[in-house]
């Protein structure tokens, strides 16, 4: 029998069933299609293969039309689901290339409760949501695109714009702290905050040319006009920098010996959830501001500084000089309280008694900043004052020309990591206070510019608060308004799920090792990797004992922050077992050092994230800065976290843990 080619097979489908195949001895020698070669009645046609196919197809079509009329399927929803998946938002749960078996949801309170904040949002029961996380896949592609008309309407509800000289030479966590403070200032002054349209990535997880294919590669020190001296301090190269949009031209190499200061310019929208932020506060980007004023958005200064004269067009701006923000003889607060001003240098008899006692205890007739608990101890044995009645004590201090201020405890005795999870009170002479609202709210210029930087060595918000309610409002900005990008949260949640699977559904512990330039500058806790990692594993042992005590007492609680409910996994999940791996986030890139960490049980991000995860998230995971954001999400969900009190990564992680309702005793920075 001769072999049949594809053409003969195609023709065979048109032959009647009773007709011999072309390869048979009685093969027909006429036209290839016998139906066309001789007339047949319709009854005879039904007996052919073609006829039966036609009849069956017609019956099927009629049945489908009937079903469509009954059920009316939602094709639009199906197309949208396919669109969301194709645009990188990820497949539905269980279809991400890994088994969907051991995912442990995070309880966030009693049934029927409504946890506050986006970190606790949702129940995990909606379509496309990962169970227990409250996050719907693809939600970010549904974000509202603001038109220029809508932005104009948003700005109309405010007095104008609040603008900054943005320190784009810093890493993202420090930039986020500056943005959080600026959101507070803009809200306080009823102004629209103007953010830079881009930031600079500082690290590439692959070779530089790979990252350069996705974002403009630049010398970021030259772009921002900053240099770093031997002590690690960032400095401006020239006083003329404020007036020159081509900031940084001809700068020397930075002075700390590191030659690689390559950066990549990335739109700021990839670093946080801008649509979510805009839902709570008026915010525009510099490029949008320029467009609204009929200026070329590409004229935005690459240094991050405000363009002064370059951004002017039929509008005016007022500049608050940097040296006037908080000189050494004042304390910057949000606003002054009228009821306390009357006691400045006009003390009551009780106030004079308080002043005399505190001056004696402090050994100085001119009081400065004092800690609340120290003041209580100093006044404890004065009969007329009950220091345990804190409200009454605050009123008594007012009569002594002293104000109670509300702020946050720093880490390691300094204010570097800007976490807002440990609220404290301090006491200072009322005459030292200067209210930001009181000083500049009377400015009616369209643009209010705060010159230079007011970030380093200052409290979160770059000021203190005169009421506890104002401090709580700032905590809400940090914990609930300023959120990671939805895709950062998405991939972080996936990694947390993978980790939970690897430890059999038990808790996983997480630590952060700040290495990189900290080692070279002498800022790391240890120079060598072995003793440095041992600090983390030793902390895990202490953390295990802490969690055992919490479980035994059943007394778990949230951090003193607004809008959260307790995450009960500290009570319900088992502690890690001997030999369980732990998650380690680090900027260490030495091959031998990383191999040592793995030999001690550490799982690094490349060990956890899958090819499917990378495809789902996209090009952003090329950049170390965004990988770090994902790692913060992972660490915020760990049973116990240990970090370094001089690293801004730790501060952001503590804030996220608080927003998730984690017991503050399960997160330690040293």
**What is the C-alpha separation between 240 and 224, in angstroms, rounded?**
13
Residues 168 and 183 in one domain: yes
Residue where one domain finishes, among candidates 49, 71, 93 = 71
Residues 183 and 319 in one domain: yes
pLDDT at 525 over 60: yes
* 196: Cβ contacts below 8 Å, ≥ 6 apart: 166, 168, 268, 285, 286, 300, 304
Angle subtended at Cα 555 by Cα 549 and Cα 559, rounded to the nearest 5 degrees: 105
pLDDT band at 66; cut points 50, 70, 90: low
Residues 490 and 466 in one domain: no
- The total number of structural domains that make up the chain: 4
Residues 571 and 469 in one domain: no
244-to-241, 306, 381 alpha-carbon distances in Å: 5, 11, 60
Residues 518 and 574 in one domain: yes
Residues 494 and 641 in one domain: yes
Q: Let me know: does 515 contact 597? Beta carbons within 8 Å.
A: no
* 387: Cβ contacts below 8 Å, ≥ 6 apart: 376, 379, 380, 393
| Helical packing angle, 624-636 and 172-188, nearest 10° | 70
At 420, which CATH number? 1.10.10
Q: How far is CA 336 from the centre of its chain?
A: 32
Look at strands 192-195 and 283-285 and give their pairing.
parallel
139-to-81, 83, 90, 631 alpha-carbon distances in Å: 11, 12, 10, 21
Residues 595 and 643 in one domain: yes
User: For residue 571, is it within any domain?
Assistant: yes
User: For residue 35, is it within any domain?
Assistant: yes
Tokens encoding 410:
């720093």
Tokens encoding 573:
């999940």
User: For residue 102, is it within any domain?
Assistant: no
User: For residue 91, is it within any domain?
Assistant: no
Mean pLDDT of 355-376: 93
Residue where one domain finishes, among candidates 47, 71, 95 = 71
pLDDT band at 353; cut points 50, 70, 90: very high
Which one of 19-23, 62-66, 73-77, 532-536 scores highest in mean pLDDT? 532-536
The domain of 239 spans: 144-328+441-481
405: which DSSP letter? E
Of 331, 215, 202, nearest in space to 254 by CA: 202
Residues 375 and 458 in one domain: no
Bridge partners (DSSP) listed for residue 623: 204
What ranges in 112-213 are assigned the alpha helix state H? Answer: 148-156, 172-188, 208-212
**What is the C-alpha separation between 26 and 251, in angstroms, rounded?**
92
pLDDT digits (tens, 9 = 90+) for 588-617: 889 999 999 999 999 999 999 888 888 877
Mean pLDDT of 528-539: 94
SS3 category, 144: coil
Residues recorded for the chain: 670
Q: Let me know: does 506 contact 575? Beta carbons within 8 Å.
A: yes
Entry pTM: 0.77
* 478: Cβ contacts below 8 Å, ≥ 6 apart: 180, 420, 460, 655
At 652, which CATH number? 3.40.50.11350
pLDDT digits (tens, 9 = 90+) for 462-515: 999 999 999 999 999 999 999 999 999 999 999 999 999 999 999 999 999 988
Look at strands 234-236 and 192-195 and give their pairing.
unpaired
**What is the C-alpha separation between 158 and 139, in angstroms, rounded?**
29
Residues 495 and 552 in one domain: yes
User: For residue 173, is it within any domain?
Assistant: yes
User: For residue 122, is it within any domain?
Assistant: no
Contacts of residues 94-101 at CB distance under 8 Å and 24 or more positions apart, as own/partner, are 96/494, 96/610, 96/612, 96/613, 96/616, 97/610, 97/611, 97/612, 97/613, 98/498, 98/501, 98/610, 98/612, 99/501, 101/501
User: For residue 93, is it within any domain?
Assistant: no
Residues 502 and 640 in one domain: yes
Residue where one domain finishes, among candidates 14, 49, 71 = 71
Residues 477 and 493 in one domain: no
pLDDT digits (tens, 9 = 90+) for 399-408: 999 999 999 9
Question: By CB neighbour count within 10 A (0-12 exposed, 13-18 middle, 19+ buried), where does 156 fall?
Answer: exposed
User: For residue 99, is it within any domain?
Assistant: no
Residues 634 and 500 in one domain: yes
| Helical packing angle, 591-599 and 529-553, nearest 10° | 30
pLDDT at 113 over 90: no
SS3 category, 509: strand
pLDDT at 619 over 50: yes
**What is the C-alpha separation between 117 and 129, in angstroms, rounded?**
17
pLDDT digits (tens, 9 = 90+) for 278-321: 999 999 999 999 999 999 999 999 999 999 989 988 888 999 99
């Amino acid at each position: 029998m001769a072999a049949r080619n594809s053409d003969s097979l195609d023709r065979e489908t048109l032959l009647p069933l009773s007709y011999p195949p072309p390869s048979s001895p009685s093969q027909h020698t006429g036209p290839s299609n016998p139906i066309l070669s001789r007339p047949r009645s319709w009854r005879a046609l039904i007996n052919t293969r073609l006829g039966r196919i036609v009849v069956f197809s017609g019956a099927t079509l009629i049945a489908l039309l009937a079903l469509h009329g009954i059920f009316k399927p939602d094709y639009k929803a199906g197309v949208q689901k396919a669109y969301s998946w194709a645009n990188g938002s990820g497949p539905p749960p269980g279809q991400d290339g890994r088994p969907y078996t051991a995912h442990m949801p995070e309880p966030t309170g009693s049934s029927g409760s409504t946890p506050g904040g986006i970190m606790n949002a949702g129940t995990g029961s909606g379509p496309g949501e990962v169970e227990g996380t409250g996050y719907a896949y693809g939600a970010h592609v549904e974000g509202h695109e603001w038109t220029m008309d809508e932005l104009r309407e948003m700005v109309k509800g405010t007095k104008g714009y609040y603008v900054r000289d943005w320190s784009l030479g810093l890493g993202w966590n420090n930039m986020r702290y500056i943005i959080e403070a600026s959101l507070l200032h803009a809200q306080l002054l009823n102004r629209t905050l103007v953010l830079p349209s881009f930031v600079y990535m500082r690290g590439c997880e692959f070779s530089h040319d790979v990252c350069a294919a996705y974002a403009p590669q630049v010398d970021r020190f030259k772009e921002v006009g900053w240099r770093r001296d031997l002590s690690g301090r960032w400095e401006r190269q020239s006083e003329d920098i404020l007036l020159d949009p081509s900031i940084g031209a001809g700068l020397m190499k930075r002075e700390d010996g590191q030659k690689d200061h390559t950066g990549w310019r990335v739109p700021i929208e990839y670093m946080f959830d801008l649509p979510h932020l805009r839902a709570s506060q008026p915010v525009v980007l510099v490029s949008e501001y320029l467009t609204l004023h009929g200026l070329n958005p590409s004229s935005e200064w690459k240094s991050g500084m405000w363009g002064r004269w370059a951004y002017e067009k039929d509008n005016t701006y007022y500049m608050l000089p940097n040296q006037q923000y908080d000189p050494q003889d004042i304390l910057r607060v949000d606003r002054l309280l009228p009821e306390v001003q009357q006691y400045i240098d006009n003390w009551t008899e009780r106030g004079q008694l308080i002043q005399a006692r505190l001056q004696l205890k402090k050994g100085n007739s001119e009081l400065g900043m004092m800690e609340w608990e120290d003041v209580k101890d100093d006044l404890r044995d004065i009969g007329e004052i009950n220091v345990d009645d804190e409200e009454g004590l605050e009123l008594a201090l007012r009569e002594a020309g002293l104000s109670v201020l509300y702020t946050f405890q720093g880490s390691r005795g300094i204010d570097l990591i800007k976490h807002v999870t440990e609220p404290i009170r301090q006491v200072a002479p009322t005459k030292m206070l200067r209210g930001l609202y009181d000083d500049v709210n009377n400015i009616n210029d369209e643009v209010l510019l705060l010159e230079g930087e007011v970030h380093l060595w200052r409290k979160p918000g770059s000021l203190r608060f005169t009421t506890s309610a104002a401090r709580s409002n700032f905590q809400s900005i940090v914990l609930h308004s300023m959120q990671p990008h939805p895709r950062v949260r998405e991939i972080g949640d996936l990694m947390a799920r993978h980790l939970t699977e690897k430890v059999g559904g038990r808790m996983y512990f997480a630590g952060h090792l700040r290495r990189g330039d900290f080692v070279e500058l002498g800022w790391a806790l240890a120079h060598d990797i072995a003793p440095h990692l041992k600090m983390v594993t030793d902390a895990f042992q202490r953390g295990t004992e802490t969690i055992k005590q919490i479980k035994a007492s059943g007394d778990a609680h949230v951090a003193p922050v607004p809008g959260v409910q307790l995450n009960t996994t500290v009570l319900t999940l088992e502690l890690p077992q001997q030999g369980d791996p732990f998650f380690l986030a680090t900027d260490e890139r030495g091959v031998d050092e990383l191999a040592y960490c793995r030999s001690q049980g550490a799982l690094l991000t490349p060990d956890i994230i899958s090819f499917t995860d990378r495809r789902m998230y996209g090009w952003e995971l090329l950049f170390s800065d965004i990988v770090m954001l994902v790692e913060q999400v992972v660490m915020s969900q760990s049973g116990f976290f240990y970090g370094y009190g001089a690293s801004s990564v730790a501060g952001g992680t503590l804030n996220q843990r608080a927003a998730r309702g984690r017991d503050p005793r399960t997160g330690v920075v040293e």
